[in-house]
Chain A
Amino acid sequence: MSTHTIRVCCGTGCIANGSRGVAAALREAAARAGAPAVSVETQVKATGCHGFCAKGPVVAVDPDGISYYQVKESDAEEIVASLGGAPVERLLFRREDGTFARGEADNPFYEGQVKIALRNVGKIDPLSLGDYRARGGYEALEKALAMAPEDIIAEVEKSGLRGRGGAGFPTGTKWRSCAACEETQRYVVCNGDEGDPGAFMDGYIMEGDPHSVIEGLAICALAVGAEEGFFYIRDEYLVALDHMARALADAEAAGILGDSVLGSGRRLRFEIVRGGGAFVCGESTALMASIEGRVGEPRAKYIRSVQKGLWDKPTVLNNVETLATVPVILKEGYEAVQELGVGRSRGTKTFAMVGKVKNGGLVEVPMGTTIRQLVFGNGGGIAGGRPFKSIQTGGPSGGCLPESLLDLPVDYESLDANGTMVGSGGMIVMDDRNCMVDVAKYYVGFLAQESCGKCTPCREGLRHMHAILTGICEGKGTEADIERLEELGFTLKEASLCALGKTAANPVLSTLRYFKEEYLSHIQDGFCPAGVCRALVVFGIDAEKCKACGLCAGSCPASCISGEGKQPYEIDAARCTACGNCRKACHFEAIHPEKRMAV
């Protein structure tokens, strides 16, 4: 009798693609196929994210090592019927050369990935404590209970682990300074307020492996001598909140948390706090203010929060991915993290690679992997075969890198030196149809909205930068604007209170550094070469390339495209709103942006 486990990804991305329906259909199909003709015992598990979100819903079959993509409910019967035999070929991943990848092992998306923070995500049922323990879960906590706090901290220090949420502060150092405080009432906090647009690794870790985060925070609490801890989780993360709450309850019921942690007599109490939907609350002091029940405004850090944090008590705050890595360090030794990476950036980092990349999703790679490997190796290049233009890293306060830096290794120091940062690990890939001025405007608009308003440089500076960028996108820019942007950017960097303001100019400064000609094209020629800034652009049809298929006319909301028979189609420039639908619809690259003439 052979046993098969079918794992259905139920991460938020796959859920949006209908994976819960697929899981239900597979369960039904497995139940129906219960006939012992091919004595198969099937277990269908809803797991966390398998990483390859762009091709979801993802379904994996164990122990065969098969992975299926874009599975529909109607495929369930066929998958169950194939168990133990040949895989359902049409659902396998098709490589560039047309051959099929059987599973993760021979799929280029997973090449070079080393899963530490994501070790269980997608592999286990996140709501099953048994699954977690079967993979060695809570063994690190048990080990930590037998260790002196000093030894736990030393192990984390030796691993070289640095904060995965943004700043990259050495985790062990943070713990050490907290443990050294005189005040004995201390707190630990897990920052699950992942507010960066385009980053979702923390959400998916909490969804897919909540116990690893709990175990990480428990070890942190033992190391710094805290009994109480908080998980501050974004309110928008419905699944993550649910899974974390259930995992916490299970851990308490099993005696892993509570008045006597694993029977040791040590006390640990953790609580979940739902975020209020404010980006600035990802900043540590703002987050603590929010937990205390106040408006989430940061404070100046003359005194660091490891000394005076929550309720003025010493507090260690770590990010989800950092904490999920901690149990591995204790269980397998610091070498597991330390031996990977480059320079002062050790271990792995999870990136959410999305945007115009062909195979987007979550990838966890050793620090120092090049951008080229990520985008063109794991990501399979740009969707639709379009040219690569830029990659934006580090969230809204990161920067945009050009094609010439594709071979840059991704680590804290290299990115920092080139005007961007690792940040939380968002990576947005852009092609020739993305306008860098528009992207800068988007981020500055976002940050202006999310600025808490406490300090003037951030509140006023961002507002003015946004107004200048909007002017440039509307063709009202002057060359002096560039100087003004640089000056405002400098002021923000020097004078803002918290990291939100200090880094807020990065999107503008980095695009000015690498894509200045695009700004100049808007300012001097009144034209947006990417065809994004609507005030400067109309679309035109290249008569030689047009095949008169009519797809463009059908997609035009302004009904301003006309054509008959086999004659090339035409766009009425006066009525064109430059929405770009026609360009997306065209299969022949026949539609291109042209300068909008003043009426």
Chain B
Amino acid sequence: MKEDIERIVALYPPERRFALAAMQDMQRQFNYIPAEGLDALSAAMGIPIAQLYSMATFYRALSLKPKGRHIIKICDGTACHISGSEVLAAALHDAIGIRPGEVTEDGAFSLETVNCLGSCAVAPVMLIDDTHFGGVTPDRLAAIIEEVGAK
């Protein structure tokens, strides 16, 4: 982990404006921002740790707790909301036993709701890692989860 953190921090000039990008890279690398990452960034960029902490908790893309290996994002944008995204969240709870904001015990999946994925015409939409699924029904859900979980 240490090398990865150092590598990410070294990618950017020591200027405040790159703090968000560096934290996003850490988020991608580790699925969360480790405390060591904040320390390293604070030292390299000369930003007080409290300010980095406030950013890490402000931006939705960042998380201080580890997320699952696969991140499921259920879109709860307006079009998805009125097309039954809540039913989808309930069906996912039945299938893998977690609610938005939680991680499965084996660390395979974490579940989040997001505001809009921009695929409103094919609502309700779900994103697993980098793959979009449109027009998702509770019936199709099981097959999708199985396929992704097998990877």
Contacts and interface: CB of A to CB of B under 8 A. Distances in A.
Nearest to A279: B115
A198 B21 CA distance: 26
A378 to B, nearest CB: 13
Contact of B120 (A15, A238, A352): A352
A290 B53 CA distance: 14
Given A17-B135, A290-B20, A428-B82, A199 B117 contact: no
Contact of B21 (A12, A274, A279): A274
Interface in B31-61: 47, 51, 54-55, 58-61
Given A198-B79, A292-B17, A428-B78, A278 B119 contact: no
B7 to A, nearest CB: 18
B118 A579 contact: no
Among B18, B19, B84, B134, find the residue whose CB has the most chain A CB atoms closer than 10 A: B134
A294 B51 contact: yes
B92 interface: no
A361 B119 CA distance: 9
B117 A12 contact: yes
A210 interface: no
Given A277-B61, A428-B79, 12 more contacts: A13-B134, A15-B132, A16-B132, A197-B77, A198-B120, A236-B114, A274-B24, A293-B15, A293-B20, A295-B58, A360-B120, A580-B84
Contacts of B18: 293
B123 interface: yes
A295 B54 contact: yes
Contacts of A290: 20
B87 interface: yes
A12 B116 contact: no
B120 A354 contact: yes
A276 interface: yes
A581 B77 CA distance: 20
Given A278-B58, A293-B19, A294-B16, A17 B118 contact: no
Contacts of A505: none
A515 interface: no
Nearest to A362: B121
Interface in B54-95: 54-55, 58-62, 76-84, 87, 90, 94
A200 B135 contact: no
Interface in A236-264: 236-238
A296 interface: yes
Among A12, A196, A237, A290, find the residue whose CB has the most chain B CB atoms closer than 10 A: A12
Nearest to A292: B17
Given A292-B16, A293-B17, A392-B78, A200 B119 contact: yes
A579 B84 CA distance: 9
A360 B62 CA distance: 33
A235 B25 CA distance: 12
A274 B77 CA distance: 20
B124 to A, nearest CB: 11
Contacts, number: 148
Contact of A354 (B47, B79, B114): B79
Interface of B: 15-21, 24, 47, 51, 54-55, 58-62, 76-84, 87, 90, 94, 114-123, 125, 130, 132-135, 138
B120 A200 contact: yes
Contact of B24 (A200, A238, A276): A276
A434 B82 contact: yes
Contacts of B61: 235, 275-277
B113 to A, nearest CB: 10
Interface residues of A, number: 57
A356 interface: yes
Contacts of B82: 355-356, 428, 430, 434, 439
Among B51, B60, B133, find the residue whose CB has the most chain A CB atoms closer than 10 A: B60
Contact of B78 (A198, A236, A450, A580): A198
B134 A17 contact: yes
Interface string A1-35: 00000000000110111000000000000000000
Question: What 6 pairs between A and B have smallest CB-CB spacing?
Answer: A276-B59, A197-B77, A53-B121, A16-B134, A277-B60, A200-B118
A198 B60 contact: no
A411 interface: no
A69 interface: no
Nearest to B23: A276
Nearest to B79: A354
A217 interface: no
A361 B121 contact: yes
A396 B77 CA distance: 10
B115 A237 contact: no
A165 to B, nearest CB: 15
Nearest to B87: A579
Nearest to A577: B90
B68 to A, nearest CB: 18
Nearest to A204: B118
A321 interface: no
A296 B59 contact: yes
